A and B are shown apart, each in its own frame.
Chain A
């Protein structure tokens, strides 16, 4: 029988807030690095990705994973945040590779 979950829903909501905030800040950092290093297409994509990540993080994630039926539902929000993080990682890798090749070519 399902007993009182105690303070766990609050802990989970806080974990969602932490994760959303970290994802927003780090995607912003990646976009700023792209702008600073002067890689124009990555800077544009990165800025758009950072804006959408921050908007999603502020609107969806503080609510946690509560489903209208009252059940715990983490599948879709989790897939969403993993996709955002993978996109940020891909942008970071592309930025690094671009700076690597421009530096080895010009040096």
Chain B
């Protein structure tokens, strides 16, 4: 899905920030009518009116931050299972690793879900919905940390 962007440079990054900023400054209003809006999903972009670009971009960055958090959890799970297999330790670490991978994947899905809700609220000029994922993330990380700490204590006492 490579669209023809006349302002993109040939190198992959950094992007042409100057042209990006110019194009998002609505000093000269775009002549594209709302009917020409082909952005999908229509359930998000088809409602309400165009919000301030800064709020849309901030919403997008928040969603990307959640995706990166999920990725970090997946990386932790994969590293944990690799270490557990190499060091031949108990199966409990594998269970924690599965939990970490699943929580990481669901965080990415929650990021998309939250982005849609907030974008619709921005377009309809409603108050923003509260955060959904944050308490679950904290709970999940806490549970994993407690399990791992308990296992480490148990192992260290078993070797005394």
Contact = CB atoms under 8 A, between A and B. Distances in A.
Interface string A62-88: 111111111111111011011001101
Interface of A: 1-13, 15-19, 22-23, 26, 29-30, 33, 36-37, 58-60, 62-76, 78-79, 81-82, 85-86, 88-90, 92-93, 95-97, 99-100, 103-104
Interface of B: 1-5, 7-8, 12-15, 17, 20-21, 23-26, 30, 32, 36-37, 39-41, 44-45, 50, 52-54, 56-61, 63-65, 67-68, 70-72, 74-75, 77-79, 81-82, 84-85, 88, 91, 94-95, 97-98, 101-102, 104-106, 108-109, 111-112, 115, 119
Contact of B64 (A16, A60, A68, A96): A16
Given A2-B52, A71-B39, A89-B104, A18 B68 contact: yes
Contact of B57 (A8, A99, A104): A8
A13 B81 contact: no
B49 to A, nearest CB: 11
A92 B77 contact: yes
Contact of A11 (B25, B44, B61): B61
Given A5-B21, A103-B94, A67 B61 contact: no
Given A9-B57, A26-B71, A17 B13 contact: yes
